[in-house]
Amino acid sequence: MTDVWHHAQEQFFAVADRLKLSPAIKAFLSEPEVVHNFTVPFTMDDGSTRIVSGIRAQHSFARGPAKGGIRFHPGVTIEEVKALSMWMTWKCAVVNVPYGGSKGGMIIDYKALTRREQERATRAYARRLLPYIGPDLDIPAPDVNTGPREMAWICDEYSHYVGHPEPAVITGKPVEYGGSLGRTDATGRGVAFAVQRYFEIKGEPLERKRVVIHGFGNVGQWAARVLSKMGAIIVAVSDSAGGIHAEEGLNVEAAIEHKESTGRVSGFAGTEMSNEELLELECDILVPAALEGAIHAKNARKVGAKLIAEGANGPTTPEADAILEKRGIALIPDVLANAGGVTVSYFEWVQNRQRMYWTIHDVHQRLRDIMRGATDDVCRIANEEKVNWRVAAYLLGVERVAAAVRMTRADF
Ligand code: NAD
């Protein structure tokens, strides 16, 4: 059992005990309902055949069709995919979208393939998946190394399989091909809505709060953009090559332009610093938006933020969590903070099924309502149960899933 799956199960068992779930429900939810493991053969440009491994874990169908991304990476493992599928179940339940959780992966150095090889690999993976996905069964989405282009290829394969166009089988599609407006910025925007609500509840203004963004990619850039529009000051940002810091605040749009043209944030403005130094900066809000495990036992004692809003999935290790809590550092957990992405994916699916498309204003407004409502729910449970926000979010998510299971399985 690798660490990440062990971590996901331990987290679940702790919450299940607290909720006093029956042994049957606890056992049922502690494993994915289904795990598909298959070979994916495809043709390379030189005519040779490559065979790689593909996985799809469907953790839960209790609240609706399963929902979760697809990652193409050499480091993918079954245990990682299982853990991510379980986290998707809780995340969908926290924001109360009518889905269970799933995740898919292909063990492949995808970036090393040519564009034509990428298309053949993605379509071959999709063909293996076809019997197990569908608008009422399991709805994939992008994750590491996959984006709108891959979603379009998979949707095309599925549409040929069922014999008619079926955009609702997958989300994160290009807007020209059934995607929703506002999907690209949804996760970062959702982080900003959760942070805004957190300060409203605290009775403190968000204006002039100092923000550090660790990982200036899609999520980090959009969180920075929206938080700065809300009046916060972005004092530092970083990517894998290092960070920059300017106490008076960075011009976010110009920093994004610089990152797009040079591929990195360094050299834009302010003082250059390492990622470790950036995490230690004194600030009001830290948004980890890079990788899993960025805040760990060794650096958690030095984190300089008062609030951490987890844009990334699993950026804080369990050891770091305990240290941060002891130090009184507040945290908005990933299953709440970054749920804006799956929320707008849900909007995309609804629009595809209705064959009626919403304005960007509608998407933003509904996303805002859902993120604020979920933040209020988590805060209420944290106060009632006297637990931190991570435990509160899990209590909310797991109890919603368990309640759905109880409705259909009297013997549980
Ligand atoms: P991305 O690839 O666009 O951006 C990641 C950024 O992190 C890049 O700028 C990269 O340079 C930087 N980075 C990588 N290693 C780093 C390091 N060691 N230190 C500092 N920066 C580093 O990815 P993204 O879509 O923004 O996703 C970021 C995180 O958010 C991931 O954990 C992802 O699973 C999670 N997430 C994304 C979405 C979404 O809709 N994109 C939704 C939910 C969760």
Question: pLDDT of 5-21, one tens digit each?
Answer: 998 999 999 999 999 99
Give 291 Cα–ligand 1 centroid separation in angstroms: 6
pLDDT at 1: 45
- Nearest-CA residue for ligand 1 atom 33 is 312
- Nearest-CA residue for ligand 1 atom 29 is 312
Among residues 162, 164, 168, the alpha carbon closest in space to that of 67 is found at 168
pLDDT digits over 171-207, tens only? 999 999 999 999 999 999 999 999 999 999 999 999 9
- Nearest-CA residue for ligand 1 atom 25 is 218
pLDDT at 410: 81
DSSP for 144-155, please give it.
TT--HHHHHHHH
- Nearest-CA residue for ligand 1 atom 17 is 240
Substitution site in 111, 180, 239, 287 for ligand 1 pocket (most atoms within 8 Å of beta carbon): 239
Q: Average model confidence (pLDDT) for the chain?
A: 96
- Nearest-CA residue for ligand 1 atom 15 is 240
Give 294 Cα–ligand 1 centroid separation in angstroms: 11
Give 340 Cα–ligand 1 centroid separation in angstroms: 15
Ligand 1 atom at minimal distance to the Cα of residue 241:
11
pLDDT at 346: 98
pLDDT digits over 210-224, tens only? 999 999 999 999 999
pLDDT at 139: 98
CATH assignment, 2-166: 3.40.50.10860
- Nearest-CA residue for ligand 1 atom 18 is 240
What's the rounded Cα separation, in Å, for the pair 202 and 3? 35
Residue 51 has pLDDT above 80, yes or no: yes
The confidence band for 411, taking pLDDT boundaries of 50, 70 and 90, is confident
Domain ranges of the chain: 2-166, 186-337
pLDDT at 412: 86
What's the rounded Cα separation, in Å, for the pair 390 and 372? 16
Strand ordering across the sheet containing 283-288: 271-273, 242-245, 233-239, 210-214, 283-288, 305-309, 330-332
CATH assignment, 186-337: 3.40.50.720
Annotated catalytic residue: which of 26, 67, 82, 103? 103
Ligand 1 atom at minimal distance to the Cα of residue 187:
40
pLDDT at 295: 97
Substitution site in 240, 334, 335 for ligand 1 pocket (most atoms within 8 Å of beta carbon): 240
pLDDT at 320: 95
Residue 22 has pLDDT above 90, yes or no: yes
Give 288 Cα–ligand 1 centroid separation in angstroms: 9
Q: Are the folds of 2-166 and 186-337 the same?
A: yes
58 neighbors 32 (Cβ within 8 angstroms): yes
Give 223 Cα–ligand 1 centroid separation in angstroms: 12
pLDDT at 260: 95
Three-class secondary structure assignment of 292-342: CCCECCCCHHHCCEEEEECCCCCCECHHHHHHHHHCCCEEECHHHHCCHHH
pLDDT digits over 241-300, tens only? 999 999 999 999 999 999 999 999 999 999 999 999 999 999 999 999 998 889 999 999
What's the rounded Cα separation, in Å, for the pair 87 and 8? 7
Give 237 Cα–ligand 1 centroid separation in angstroms: 13
Q: Which two tokens stand for residue 241?
A: 């090559």
- The model carries a pTM of 0.96
- Nearest-CA residue for ligand 1 atom 8 is 217
Give 220 Cα–ligand 1 centroid separation in angstroms: 7
What's the rounded Cα separation, in Å, for the pair 94 and 83? 17
In the residue annotation, 103 being an active-site residue is answered as yes
Give 280 Cα–ligand 1 centroid separation in angstroms: 19
Substitution site in 218, 222, 265 for ligand 1 pocket (most atoms within 8 Å of beta carbon): 218
Among residues 398, 399, 407, the alpha carbon closest in space to that of 86 is found at 398
pLDDT at 2: 57
Residue list, ligand 1 pocket, CB within 6 Å: 187, 214-220, 238-240, 275, 289-291, 311-313, 338, 341
Average pLDDT on 304-323 reads 95
The confidence band for 88, taking pLDDT boundaries of 50, 70 and 90, is very high
The confidence band for 409, taking pLDDT boundaries of 50, 70 and 90, is confident
- Nearest-CA residue for ligand 1 atom 19 is 240
